């Protein structure tokens, strides 16, 4: 593939590639290793449940940022990196089979794949390698004398921050953003989804689902109890364009139903 016409696929992590919150998985492992208290674990569990139910589309980026930074504040960086031996296998178990199929599909098409998430970079990068992806971009926390300070050490990988980071990656690697794909569950990622040529809403919150239907973006719902995915789009052209990808994904992970095919069956 000509470098000047390369594309890439960017995946949000929580509730997109995986079910639930990766940060809560980290907190659970930290608690079992007696690094955080039961009170802190309970607090993070409450936040994770709220995030799962409501998503992160309310524009409260400061609250999301503080949650990520507070999860590591005061910890030794060496301890967090050591936790990955427990964390990564746990998170891998929660990667949706349909999401793995999409990564495979993009790789077969010659596209690089990245995770881009507000979760700590120390977790996101090794997870991306474990999935055979080209990179993982997460929130970088400041470290002083080997201990996390609770402050940022770079742009917050959330909202507009994700779009800025993707723009930099595209410029550095020669990706054509018109040929790039973006996958997310949350309206907080609209800057990222609007930046790429192919936006896909995955198990979207209400706000993102509304925007996706208005703009004709594919809406993908990964079923919880069976290895299937349901795709829908308001644009007939979008439904036709999904045909090739639907076939490739369906071949690996069960049947995929689009609104168009569902309508043909009723006739």
Q: Catalytic annotation on 14?
A: yes
Starting from the edge strand earliest in sequence, which strands make up the sheet with 8-11, in order? 135-139, 112-120, 8-11, 181-184, 198-202, 219-222, 229-232, 256-258
CA distance 203 to 205: 7
Burial of 171 (0-12, 13-18, 19+ CB in 10 A): exposed
Catalytic residue among 14, 44, 189, 205: 14
Evaluate whether 55 touches 187 at the Cβ level (below 8 Å): yes
Largest CA distance in the chain: 68
How far is it, in rounded angstroms, from Cα 107 to Cα 72?
33
- The reply to whether 2 belongs to the active site is no
- Among candidate residues 2, 12, 104, 145, the one labeled active-site is 12
Which sequence positions are flagged as catalytic? 12, 14
């Amino acid at each position: 593939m000509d470098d000047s016409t390369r594309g890439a696929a960017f995946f949000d992590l929580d509730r997109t590639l995986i079910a639930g919150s990766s940060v809560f998985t980290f907190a659970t492992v930290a608690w079992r290793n007696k690094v955080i208290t039961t009170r802190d674990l309970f607090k993070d569990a409450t936040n994770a449940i709220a995030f799962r139910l409501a998503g992160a589309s309310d524009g409260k980026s400061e609250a999301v940022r503080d949650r990520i930074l507070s999860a590591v504040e005061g910890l030794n960086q060496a301890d967090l990196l050591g936790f990955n031996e427990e964390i990564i296998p746990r998170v891998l178990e929660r990667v949706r089979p349909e999401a793995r199929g999409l990564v495979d599909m993009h790789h077969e098409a010659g596209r690089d794949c990245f995770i881009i998430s507000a979760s700590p970079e120390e977790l996101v990068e090794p997870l991306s390698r474990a999935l055979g992806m080209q990179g993982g971009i997460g929130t970088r926390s400041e470290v002083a004398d080997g201990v996390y300070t609770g402050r940022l050490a770079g742009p917050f990988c959330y909202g507009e921050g994700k779009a800025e980071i993707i723009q930099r990656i595209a410029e550095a690697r020669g990706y054509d953003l018109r040929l790039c794909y973006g996958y997310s569950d949350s309206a907080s990622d609209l800057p990222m989804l609007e930046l790429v040529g192919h936006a896909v809403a995955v198990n979207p919150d209400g706000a993102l689902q509304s925007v996706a239907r208005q703009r004709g973006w594919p809406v993908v719902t990964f079923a919880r109890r069976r290895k299937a995915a349901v795709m829908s789009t308001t644009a007939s052209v979008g439904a036709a364009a999904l045909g090739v990808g639907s076939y490739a994904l369906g071949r690996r992970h069960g049947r995929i139903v689009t609104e168009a095919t569902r309508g043909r069956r009723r006739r």
